[in-house]
Amino acid sequence: EVQLVQSGAEVKKPGESLKISCKGSGYTFSTYWIGWVRQMPGKGLEWMGIIYPGDSDTRYSPSFQGQVTISADKSISTAYLQWSSLKASDTAMYYCARHLKGGSSFSPFDCWGQGTLVTVSS
Amino acid sequence: DIQMTQSPSSLSASVGDRVTITCRASQSISTYLNWYQQKPGKAPNLLIFDASSLQSGVPSRFSGSGSGTDFTLTISSLQPEDFATYYCQQSYSTPYTFGQGSKLEI
């Protein structure tokens, strides 16, 4: 069974750093693009960026470029989303998701993690 | 970026109704259009990909159509479990933008 399991909820202060994770199982992790999606409280879905774990090729939305870093460690089938300095406006649910077609990002997200709630508050 | 605009943003319907949600892209995206369903507190769930392909395990009352810039999601006969928010997404060019969502209420 294809599965993505995300790390647990986080409560941080503005200015702090954070790295959340997404561990894949049930498939060859290195050959499927993985993406991150933000959902602010009561709002819609926002595409943040994607990574191909096989070679760490990464694409960012202009809205998130420079604000976050997406990375992956294929040896442990885990993708990451990190912030160097959190803001209150980063408070949101963050989902990782896998692209349907191996080797191609021109496909939907077919498997989603359970989400990681990040709360940033002083 | 390609902008995705859904309509309506919200709608009320009854069990058994036929419902259609539309999604318009700001430029042609061929058939690189996906539909997701999201229920409160849950991750989105893929319903339709490539504009009209039904994802495995999704009931056949869901269907999609369209190409270029205009797309539709149709639910042929609403069931109680279909009341949720629906999002379209283009996977033609990055960033793979989502529509703003359409909330389907009883």
Question: How many C-beta atoms lie closer than 10 Å to residue A58's C-beta?
Answer: 14
* Residue A36 confidence (pLDDT) above 90: yes
Written as one string, the DSSP assignment of A87-117 is -GGG-EEEEEEEESSTT-SSS-EEEE---EE
Residues of chain A contacting B, Cβ within 8 Å: 35, 37, 44-47, 49-50, 59-63, 95, 97, 100, 105-110, 112-115
Helix H or strand E segment including A37: strand A34-39
Residue numbers of chain B with a pLDDT score lower than 50? none
Considering CB atoms only, which of B32, B34, B43 is closest to A114? B43
Å from A9 to nearest chain B CA? 14
pLDDT for the residue numbered B106: 85
* Residue A102 confidence (pLDDT) above 90: no
Among the listed residues B73, B75, B83, the one whose alpha carbon sits nearest the alpha carbon of residue B59: B75
Write the single-letter amino acid at A13: K
pLDDT tens per residue, range B40-63: 999 999 999 999 999 999 999 999
Between A and B, how many residue pairs show a Cβ–Cβ distance under 8 A?
A: 68
pLDDT for the residue numbered B92: 96
Instruction: Please compute the mean of the pLDDT values over residues A2-14 and round it to a whole number.
Output: 98
Instruction: Please compute the mean of the pLDDT values over residues A62-89 and round it to a whole number.
Output: 98
Read off the DSSP letter of residue B98.
B
Task: Quote the percentage of chain A above a pLDDT of 90.
Answer: 93
Residue A62: cis peptide before it, omega within 30 degrees of 0: no
Q: Could you tell me which chain B residue has the CA closest to the CA of A39?
A: B43
Give one word for B66, left, alpha or beta, with left for phi > 0 and alpha for psi -120 to 50: left
> CA-to-CA distance for B84 and B43, rounded, in angstroms?
12
User: Measured between CB atoms, does B99 come within 8 Å of chain A?
Assistant: yes
Considering CB atoms only, which of B91, B92, B100 is closest to A44? B100
Among the listed residues B67, B74, B83, B77, the one whose alpha carbon sits nearest the alpha carbon of residue B35: B74
